[in-house]
Structure 1
Amino acid sequence: MLTARKILVLNGPNLNLLGKRQPEIYGHETLGDVEAECRSIAAELGFSVDFRQSNAEHELISWLHEARETVAGIVINPAGYSHTSVAIMDALAACPCPIIEVHISNIHRREAFRHHSYVSHVATGVICGCGTQGYTLALRRLSVLLEKVTP
């Protein structure tokens, strides 16, 4: 059953180490900080947030399958799976809602293998290089997109 104002915020591998792993690239905010900010902005926009993280590809895919019929939009930071997972791309392609892909760093200024994202092929929009603010930008963009389809 669709929960009209619910947004899934999905985080891929190693994001549980945010704030500890390579802070010179990813910053000092923790995933808990990102979640708190997402919940605050979502409440301001009239959304609820289902915020999740997994290092397991199959778990991310199962959550996307569940989301197909329960959320109005998806924000996803697929992390390293951006560049490798056709399966996550396919799961997202089966979702009828808008999808915003987020990357904390600018993947286009990094190693060549990071320049390609399978997820970008099915995302409605992509935000990269804005630090953790990319998540709140994504929520604001979803709000605009969803207002266009809500009577």
Structure 2
Amino acid sequence: MATPGPIYVLNGPNLNLLGQRQPEVYGHETLDDVVSLCDDVAGRFGRTVLARQSNHEGVLIDWVHEARTEASGVVINPGGYTHTSVALRDALVTLDVPLVEVHISNVHGREEFRRHSFVSPVATGVIAGLGIAGYGLAVEYLCRRG
């Protein structure tokens, strides 16, 4: 039986500033903390994570295209592209693997524009408002799903 491909954990714009940018909203944990959490959870299941972050929409889309043939599942926090990027949504809909959308804050309790997601309708599941723990839950879900 072949080993499943890595779980891609993709992060969009400004997530490289976790722990510095609006800690009252996003917490004090860093992107390195997110990656460590995802690695730890995946490791418990004998799985691996490939974590990436970009502030550039086209780069994220390229990684989604790569995930089509390499990933066993995708966790994505599209950041601000959640609410604006039809192009990212169009790339995500091509995935044949489970997709979990993650948001650190409760986007539904924030500004009105944050309540609309182009990603949610094409995602297998959505986790919002649980801080970075949402990433761990998403990775665990994908590991348990197979």
TM-score (norm 2): 0.96
Native 8 Å contact 1:120 1:126 kept in 2 = yes
Unpaired runs of 5+ residues, structure 2, are none
- CA separation in 1, counterparts of 2:117 and 2:145? 22
> What are the superposed Cα offsets for residues 29-61 of structure 1, whole Å, 9 maximum, x if unpaired?
000111111111110122111000000000000
- CA separation in 2, counterparts of 1:66 and 1:143? 20
Identify the residue that residue 111 of structure 1 maps to in structure 2: 111
> What are the superposed Cα offsets for residues 111-143 of structure 1, whole Å, 9 maximum, x if unpaired?
000001000011000000000000000011112
The alpha-carbon distance between structure 1 residues 3 and 122, as it changes in their structure 2 partners (threshold 3 A), is farther
Other structure's SS at 1:127 match: strand
Amino acid of the residue matched to residue 57 of structure 2?
A: E
Find runs of 4+ consecutive structure 1 residues off by over 3 angstroms: none
Q: Does residue 32 of structure 2 align to residue 32 of structure 1?
A: yes
Percent identical: 59
Please state how far the C-alpha of 1:3 moved relative to its aligned partner: 6.1
Identify the residue that residue 60 of structure 1 maps to in structure 2: 60
Q: Does residue 42 of structure 2 align to residue 42 of structure 1?
A: yes
Identify the residue that residue 149 of structure 1 maps to in structure 2: none
Instruction: Spell out the pairing of 1:67-82 with structure 2 (5 A cutoff).
Output: 67-82=67-82
- CA separation in 1, counterparts of 2:45 and 2:57? 30
Native 8 Å contact 2:83 2:118 kept in 1 = yes
Identify the residue that residue 97 of structure 1 maps to in structure 2: 97
The alpha-carbon distance between structure 1 residues 67 and 3, as it changes in their structure 2 partners (threshold 3 A), is farther
Unpaired runs of 5+ residues, structure 1, are 147-151
Other structure's SS at 2:59 match: helix
- CA separation in 1, counterparts of 2:3 and 2:10? 17
Identify the residue that residue 20 of structure 1 maps to in structure 2: 20
> What are the superposed Cα offsets for residues 79-112 of structure 1, whole Å, 9 maximum, x if unpaired?
1000000111110100100000000000000000
Amino acid of the residue matched to residue 75 of structure 1?
A: V
